[in-house]
Amino acid sequence: MNHAHQVYRERRDAVLKSMRERSGGGLALVPTAAEVPRNRDSLYPFRHDSYFYYLSGFPEPEAVIALIAGDDGDRHVLFCRERNEEREIWDGFRYGPDAAREIFGFDEAHPISALREKLPEIASDRPALFTPLGLFEPWDRKVSDLLNEVRNRVRTGVTAPEEIVDVRTTLDAMRLVKDAHELSLMRRACAISSAAHRRAMRASRPGLFEYQIEAELLHEFLREGAQAVAYSSIVASGPNACVLHYRENNRLMQDGDLLLIDAGCEYQGYASDITRTFPVSGRFSGPQKAVYEIVLAAQLACIDAVKPGAPFHDYHQVAERVLAQGFIDLGLLSGPLDAVLESASYKQFYMHRAGHWLGMDVHDAGLYQVHGESMRLVPGMVLTVEPGAYIRPADNVPERFWNVGVRIEDDVLVTSDGVENLTATTPKSVADIEAAVGK
């Protein structure tokens, strides 16, 4: 077992400890995701379940982790596919239970085909069952069948778990604070995505289609060893920049357009998430620059507001305040700032939150508030900072601002004394952007 896999064993130990503290022991069962058909004989590229992978680092489908906190100590058990020469010729290498046990640091490993037979035995006389109910419907049925099977054995002197606990409560809290292993992967993901955005800026010019710029992003992701996009890339020019989750990426870009790119790679299971907005021709117009500078000021103020001890919601309020004042200054809104904030009239131009947790999932695990109170930031949390302005044509909007859409997004790590901007190498100031586009 190498150092990376020791990290996964330590995480499993932490789950076992929490099971003992909460229920005096029990059984945790965590399945990975199912393979998903795309059409006829094709599957979508397999993506492990994040909770499963967080506890194992095991990349194959058809696998389940069983963690047993029993009277005779803790056991880490893996169920996975057996070696199969014919299937490996067609579909590629499989670890098989024996190698998986040794390499990934489990105490036992069994064929996945033995799951149905072995589970009732290891679930008997456990005070609680910890599992992600509601995550996968077929898994929920398996859990129900398991509990019924153990209950059916009650006359043999065994008892079934009395309570079912969502193991994600423990795992979400763990995933919210990244360890050194995770941060090294996230820094790499962010570096790759930053390089991809710089490449997209260099390649941009009027007369190209949005998808041609998307191809530049994907080329850089794959060239640098990322396995996939963390989410569908948004390459939105002109009026498309005012569509928050624009996905078509098929418009011909024209001189005078702004191009909003929201794209990030996934590297060894960890997401990055960067947005930059720049003029396709390499020069902002006056109105575009005015809106851009307001969003940039908001984004920088938000980053300043992210620090240990600060409530998560603080930087969102900073974004609203700076943007609303900017809209007033541009003449897009009228009235004193407090009145604009209270009426929420600014939401005509800014209608989303200023960021989210980031990790294995692009909208990562973790609560945002507890008992009505905002979650407080602590070192090791990673979050996005992404205010924007989207000015659609409207009767109350001067025509020079129509279809100006701007979002600026960085990924930041909360540190002991502030933040580390993981995506800082992506051009962001007006001068740096104009120097980067088409060069």
Active-site residue, from 356, 364, 410, 434: 356
Active-site residue, from 60, 62, 386, 411: 386
Exposed, middle or buried by CB within 10 Å (0-12, 13-18, 19+), for 283? middle
Active-site residue, from 390, 410, 411, 434: 390
Active-site residue, from 75, 313, 352, 392: 352
Residue 359 contacts residue 365 (beta carbons within 8 Å): yes
Strands 258-263 and 37-39: unpaired
Task: Determine whether 255 is an active site residue.
Answer: no
Q: Helix, strand or coil for residue 420?
A: strand
Active-site residue, from 94, 187, 188, 407: 407
Active-site residue, from 210, 273, 320, 364: 273
Residue 116: Cβ within 10 Å count: 12
Q: What span, in angstroms and rounded, lies between the C-alpha atoms of 143 and 237?
A: 48
Task: Determine whether 9 is an active site residue.
Answer: no
Active-site residue, from 409, 410, 411, 434: 409
Task: Determine whether 245 is an active site residue.
Answer: yes
Task: Determine whether 371 is an active site residue.
Answer: no
Beta bridge partners of 385: 410
Active-site residue, from 262, 266, 320, 434: 262
Active-site residue, from 85, 245, 399, 417: 245
Q: How far apart are the first and last CA of the chain?
A: 47
Active-site residue, from 3, 40, 41, 155: 41
Amino acid letter at 12?
Answer: R
Task: Determine whether 262 is an active site residue.
Answer: yes
Task: Determine whether 356 is an active site residue.
Answer: yes
Active-site residue, from 87, 363, 376, 400: 363
Task: Determine whether 273 is an active site residue.
Answer: yes
Task: Determine whether 214 is an active site residue.
Answer: no
- 115-123 and 137-152 helices cross at what angle (nearest 10)? 60
Gyration radius from the chain CA atoms: 25
Q: Helix, strand or coil for residue 69?
A: strand
Residue 259 contacts residue 288 (beta carbons within 8 Å): no
- Residues annotated catalytic, as ranges: 41, 245, 262, 273, 352, 356, 363, 386, 390, 407, 409
